[in-house]
A and B are shown apart, each in its own frame.
Chain A
């Protein structure tokens, strides 16, 4: 009897009216976290609960993994379980159990929520078709309009570190960015994420990823922000960044429209992701290696 080798991460809710309630609701798990949701039960903790997002951190042995439950209108994070409406009434510190096709949050049935992973949705790693074209189009754009000057300067040091620095210089640049700025995803982390996504798309993420990992992001910045960096190292980010990179690398890509959509992400997240991407393109796409 063949045993399925890949857990689907999906256990469909019964398709009858009445099951869709505020306590038990269906969710669509990204292909990045579907296996985790479909695997054995693991305990975790709510690390952030906002109006649009509930972030859960789970440890499955090889380090903490981030899952985010969001409503359909929220920015599509690569580790999102998307529900028909955002969860409400949850708070950081609450217990969470992930596995067996479900995500259970809260200690009691009364204040708890059960999200059943009823299907998956596919996350695609970012790809850049014509790298040279993308680099040409972004040359000299590392101005970081709308971003704090400190972030722009730190991003510049990251670029230098990637281009010609030794590991220690690169580690200093990463240190300068981790946790830099206010909010759930500080701008400095977004710059790092943007750079990691581009590095992954170029097949050159190993060095930056290991330096970032060595800096122990979970000790340095918010759990949500830290949890997104490992995904970025695999080229996974919000679709607006992937679309922007795709447009940059396509002869007939509508770069301007894609850029506008990227810049509209979060308060400064889009701009910081773009800055990190541009810096990494300049540093990594030109070399002969």
Chain B
């Protein structure tokens, strides 16, 4: 803390430029804030939340827990074992949603999962079953509510295999499905025969092989791989190429040594190595472990989840526990595959924005210059995007350092008050799903959450501030 009367002043000026200029004219070092009014309607809530005496320590605690959290891949098992999922129970990405409001890709993925589980024999039959809704023989709930995450539609059914991760520091676990690859895949809402066929192979061959390899080898330090991948051109959301190869490098000896037929091992290795996004499904649960460590701290204004179900965008905030603050999801803008175009795009979907929640993905664009044009920008844009994200986060994660920013740590811990004060929204890199159920992936690009999620969370935080102690 500065000695006011003796230290040479270094001034931060917010407000009238004239006074900053007057200080500069006195040879005083002045940093001028690019100040603008907070998002309309938030000033009362902001004042109440900033006045909360618990907040500074709560946010500092959240940050330190996020930075401490580790992430080891400890096992690969079916969802029925990991979560006790019963037939007819499904999990999905984003906040809760009913069938009538569910988007095309989520419906498509649920139809596919119903077929995969053998609960229906045709898409039409599956759709009818699902349309009857929760309370009938089927039900679905968010992955996040069960301590896990799923990319895009994020649909998990009992027979699907999951990566299980553990945080050796906090003792928590998290999980995520196995990545199916790109194109016509369940998570993008496709449910054709080749989709179901691939799921069956993953459940019967890939999952058991990975399980054997992980159990033989021992835990894989996912956090360490993430730390390396962001120094190798991956941002951990739309580019996971280096991470995937490092995972394969770590697992391959144990896979080969597992005693499985060499043709099966070769098929698994080819599948993993041929899918640049395979490691996304490990970055995501590592992110879930990191944010779970910061969840549920009273007075804390740090975001612990950003997730979308294709209809709504939802966030969770540490100080408000498991409550979802939702608003209609935006539609990403970006580049499209083949003949697809913007009209084919579904609104934002998936739990993969957990990567941005921990300072990767769009927040780490500076680390991934190779894909900046794919998501519609230039390298200077990428640097500017990452720098801007430091304006809405409470700290930096030295474990995930960006070389081009002088190894500055990833911007970590989105603070809803900073979002409302600056009007700066988190930048998310994302895949784009087809609007119509069954289509699959149509492109990839950039998207932002709706501001209403953050203002709603801010209101809830404000309402939870204890009244000032009377003196």
- 1/0 contact string of A96-130 vs chain B (CB within 8 Å): 00000000000000000000001101101000000
B6 to chain A: which residues have CB within 8 Å?
A: 122, 124
Are B27 and A12 in contact, with the CB atoms below 8 A?
Answer: no
Q: Verify if A72 is at the interface (C-beta below 8 Å from B).
A: yes
Are B26 and A25 touching (Cβ within 8 A)?
no
| Chain B interfacial residues counted at CB < 8 A | 12
Q: What's the interface size class on A, roughly?
A: 20 to 34
**B20, closest chain A residue (CB):** A17
Q: Does B25 contact A (CB under 8 A)?
A: yes
A84 & B24 in contact (Cβ 8 Å cutoff): yes
- In the bound assembly, the distance between CA atoms of A28 and B17 in angstroms comes to 21
Question: Within B1-55, which residues are at the interface with A (CB < 8 Å)?
Answer: 6, 8, 17-18, 21-22, 24-29
Chain B residues near A83: list those with CB within 8 A.
27
Chain B residues lying within 8 Å of A82, measured Cβ to Cβ, are: 8, 27
State A20–B24 Cα separation when bound (angstroms).
Answer: 8
A12 neighbours in B (Cβ, 8 Å): 25-26
A252 within 8 A of B: no
Q: Which of A19, A27, A118: most chain B CB closer than 10 A?
A: A118
Of the candidates B18, B21, B27, the one whose C-beta lies within 8 Å of that of A118 is B27
With A15-B18, A121-B8 known to touch, is A28 a contact of B26 (CB < 8 Å)? yes
Q: Is the CB of B27 within 8 A of A119?
A: yes
Q: How far is the CB of A122 from chain B (nearest CB, A)?
A: 8
A26 close to B (CB within 8 Å)? yes
Distance of A83 Cα from B193 Cα, bound (Å)? 73
Residue A14 at the B interface, CB < 8 A? yes
Set A19, A122, A124: member contacting B25, Cβ < 8 A: A19
Which residues of B sit under 8 angstroms from A27, Cβ to Cβ? 27
Q: Is the CB of A25 within 8 A of B27?
A: yes
How many Å from the CB of A216 to the closest CB on chain B?
34
Question: Who on chain B is nearest to A73 by CB?
Answer: B29
Provide the bound-state CA to CA distance between A26 and B25, in Å. 6
Q: Is A153 an interface residue (CB 8 A)?
A: no
Bound-state Cα–Cα, A178 to B18, Å: 49
Bound-state CA distance A95–B81 (Å) is: 86
Smallest Cβ-Cβ distance to A121: which chain B residue: B8
* Cross-interface CB contact of B21 among A15, A119, A122, cutoff 8 Å: A15
Q: Which of A14, A84, A122 interacts with B27 by CB under 8 Å?
A: A84
Q: Give the Cβ gap from B31 to chain A, nearest Cβ, in Å.
A: 12
Contact A72/B18 with A20-B24, A121-B8 known, Cβ cut-off 8 Å: no
Q: Which residues of B contact A76 (CB under 8 A)?
A: 8
In the bound complex, how far is the Cα of B26 from the Cα of A28, in angstroms?
A: 7
Chain B residues at the A interface, C-beta cutoff of 8 Å: 6, 8, 17-18, 21-22, 24-29
